[in-house]
């Protein structure tokens, strides 16, 4: 009986804690603490000295995704630029999100991005076009931007009205998305209805104070590695060129933009300063910083913070 009493107490306490977790009492959530705790143990920061080794490591990470969670790609050739359609289930989308993936301009993780975009597609009832742009160091700037421009123009030529199109991206893809908007404006091409950016890398010079202040908290990103990737991507171009580091651009005429960032990532200031610069230039921009979260946290769809972010993104897409 004594053991049974202790069992009841343990089950009661477990149920109480779990119930409080599902009512979002804990800040940050217990699930996010568990996830980041596991990642902190097993995640290995990347060393850009060997790009092929880095790409191989990320390929192995993708292999860990269970088969039931894998989304089959719908490949398309966008005037020579390989892309993938990621479609919602059981709906006829009237909006399309033109998406540029992250990976520090030197890597790609299509399986993981595909899974994340499928979740976004279902929530937003929009279809996503993910662009497989060329990577550095084999193809430095402006190759990625040129591919983005080509694929964007191809999309419009398929009959999509710019008012139905949003542009989006995460990390380096978020920076590339911002550069794309600057290029579209400068080239007097049709602008999308809006944009959303997830932890965008907008300053390849690394002048943000958060690179130093949050270095110990951020176990995923390492500035030494990113600095090498920045050099590989820029090639012979200045890191301060606004199409390389869009933070240094002029944002007049840029469409409404939603920015989401984690409060515990070294690139936080890239988002904060971008939002400030956009506001100064008259852009309708909203910045949401989730405390304690890491780089591109909305992609971790199992945690409450990510689920809230996905709902915010879906509502934003529907509003545009």
Helix residue ranges, H only, 125-246: 143-157, 172-186, 210-213, 223-234
Strand partners, 74: 85
What ranges in 89-171 are assigned the alpha helix state H? 110-124, 143-157
CA torsion 129→112→101→197, rounded to 10°?
Answer: 90
Look up 271 and say whether it is catalytic. Answer: no
Which of 69, 178, 28, 119 is CA-nearest to residue 310? Answer: 119
- First vs last C-alpha separation in the chain: 62
Distance between CA atoms of residues 174 and 319, nearest Å: 20
**Interatomic CA distance for residues 307 and 109, integer angstroms:** 21
Closest by CA to 127, choosing from 173, 95, 82, 159, is 95
- Pair 274, 178: CB distance under 8 Å: yes
Between CA 297 and CA 86 the distance in angstroms is 20
Measuring CA to CA, which residue among 150, 151, 128, 147 is closest to residue 139?
147
Active-site hit among 118, 245, 295, 305: 295
Reading the block at residue 108, the tokens are 């790609």
Q: What does the angle CA 296 – CA 264 – CA 105 come to, to the nearest 5 degrees?
A: 40
142: DSSP letter:
T
**Residue of 29, 32, 48, 171 marked catalytic:** 171
- Pick the catalytic residue from 228, 265, 290, 305: 265
Please give the sequence-ordered ranges of beta strands (E in DSSP) within 14-126, or none if there are none: 74-78, 81-86, 96-100
Q: Catalytic residue at 265? A: yes
Catalytic residue ranges: 171, 265, 295
């Amino acid at each position: 009986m004594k053991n049974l009493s202790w069992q009841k107490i343990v089950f009661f306490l477990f149920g109480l804690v779990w119930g409080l977790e599902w009512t979002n009492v804990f800040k940050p959530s217990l699930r996010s603490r568990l996830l980041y705790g596991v990642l902190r143990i097993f995640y290995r920061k990347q060393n850009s000295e060997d790009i092929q080794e880095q790409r191989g490591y990320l390929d192995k990470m993708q292999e860990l995704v269970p088969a039931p969670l894998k989304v089959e790609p719908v490949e398309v050739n966008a005037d020579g630029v390989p892309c993938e359609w990621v479609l919602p289930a059981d709906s006829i989308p009237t909006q399309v999100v033109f998406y540029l993936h992250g990976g520090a301009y030197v890597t790609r993780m299509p399986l993981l991005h595909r899974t994340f975009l499928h979740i976004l597609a279902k929530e937003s009832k929009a279809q996503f076009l993910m662009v497989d742009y060329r990577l550095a160091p084999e193809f430095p700037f402006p190759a990625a931007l040129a591919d983005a421009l080509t694929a964007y123009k191809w999309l419009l030529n398929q009959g999509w009205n710019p008012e139905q199109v949003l542009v989006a991206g995460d990390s380096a893809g978020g920076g590339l998305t911002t550069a794309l908007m600057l290029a579209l404006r400068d080239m007097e091409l049709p602008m999308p209805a809006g944009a959303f950016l997830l932890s965008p890398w907008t300053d390849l010079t690394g002048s943000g104070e958060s690179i130093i202040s949050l270095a110990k908290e951020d176990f995923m990103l390492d500035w030494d590695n990113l600095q090498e990737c920045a050099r590989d991507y820029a090639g012979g171009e200045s890191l301060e060129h606004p199409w390389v580091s869009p933070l240094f651009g002029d944002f007049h005429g840029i469409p409404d933009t939603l920015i989401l960032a984690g409060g515990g990532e070294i690139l936080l200031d890239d988002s904060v300063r971008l939002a400030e610069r956009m506001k100064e230039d008259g852009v309708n921009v909203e910045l949401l910083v989730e405390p304690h979260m890491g780089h591109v946290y909305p992609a971790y769809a199992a945690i409450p913070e990510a689920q809230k972010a996905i709902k915010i993104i879906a509502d934003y897409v529907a509003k545009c």
